Amino acid sequence: MLLNPAVLALLAVSAVVTLLMTLAAAFAVRVLRHWDITSGSERQLRLERRTYLIATLVAFCCGAEALSLLLFVYNAEAMHTQFVGAMCATGVLNVNRWGWPTLFLQIAAFFAGAVWLTLNRLDNQGWDYPLIRVKYGLLLGIVPLVAAGAVVQALYFLNLQPDVITSCCGALFSPDSAGVAGEVAGTAPRDAAVALGASGVLVAGSGAWLLRRGSGGWVFGGSALAAFLVALAAVVSLIALYVYEHPHHHCPFCVLKAGHDHVGYWLYLPLFAGAALALGAAAVAPWRGVPSLAAAVPGETRRLTWLALAGFGLFYAVAAWTILRSGLTMVGVWW
């Protein structure tokens, strides 16, 4: 299985990213211990010069992690023909116990990296780099996450056995199955629609408040994270049914197939982007009281908030379009 080019690429990228992030972590420790913007010492000058290089390396790593997440899902979908019982990426992730943890760790690393990039951009706009310790402290928390993702992904690929009979999406995402997936699939479409609409209103309202008042960043970020989770659940319990035009097919991965016009990408990409941008806005907004960032924070907050709302808006628009254009009619479900 390791002869698969996509698998080799994913393993190589994760190894390189882990190495670079480890080097960045070593630099972060030095910054946390010795950074003093008021000092003119040679050590301080070296730290100031190297912080641009390290920031560039970390930005590269965050971008590579985002692309790896997309490639991992795409490759899992493409590999389903190699395993007995697999109909989509769900079956491939179920081949061994490391599949789903790999996906979840990569998602967590994606969001953490997005927040770090946002803080780094803001910090570079302050003459005294007021967030230097904050962002490098956060970096020390991201590195173990990235390393764990790399190790778990390697275990996943190394333990892929083509002769294993795996379970399909119909078995996992079924109201009759045990676990979280079964509970989500068993949610009534009407309840899912209400939750989806309510979370959308909450995101829009908290975003409007942040744009108007300049406060409530964490409320907006928390609302966006909640809306992100509700949206993922709604894909399983509501939207997927209308994509497949089948009342019992709940898979969140089959929507990525060409047979369904790759509509899943139009759902997931703006949703992930919107949530990441909202978390970025939440991370930026509290620093408006820092003198060197007073002029930059309002503009950055507005920009991130508008982009986040646009991402969520696109997701809701595609979801509504998917439902309205579907030939599926579930009489009695909505009342």
Instruction: Give the tens place of pLDDT for each residue, 129-177.
Output: 999 999 999 999 999 999 999 999 999 999 888 777 777 777 788 787 7
Q: Calculate mean pLDDT across residues 30-47.
A: 88
* Residues of the chain above pLDDT 90, percent: 69
pLDDT greater at residue 213 or residue 200:
200
Q: Where are the domains of the chain?
A: 1-167, 169-335
Inform me whether the pLDDT recorded for 246 exceeds 80: yes
Alpha-carbon distance 113 to 64, whole Å? 10
Closest listed residue to residue 227, CA positions, set 205, 256, 249: 205
Position 147: which residue type? Answer: A
pLDDT score for 175 = 80
Q: Report helix angle 132-158 to 99-123, nearest 10.
A: 160
In this prediction, residue 231 carries a pLDDT of 97
Q: What is the pLDDT of residue 2?
A: 57
Q: How far is CA 307 from each of CA 101, 245, 276, 300, rounded to the nearest angstrom?
A: 29, 32, 10, 11
CA angle in degrees (0–180, nearest 5) for 203-208-214? 115
SS3 137: helix
- pLDDT of 334 higher than 60: no
**Distance (Å, whole) CA 21 – CA 43:** 22
Q: What is the pLDDT of residues 102-134, one digit of tens each?
A: 999 999 999 999 999 999 999 999 988 999 999
Residues with Cβ within 8 Å of residue 16, at least 6 apart in sequence? 64
- Angle, vertex CA 300, rays to CA 294 and CA 305, nearest 5: 130
What is the pLDDT at residue 247?
87
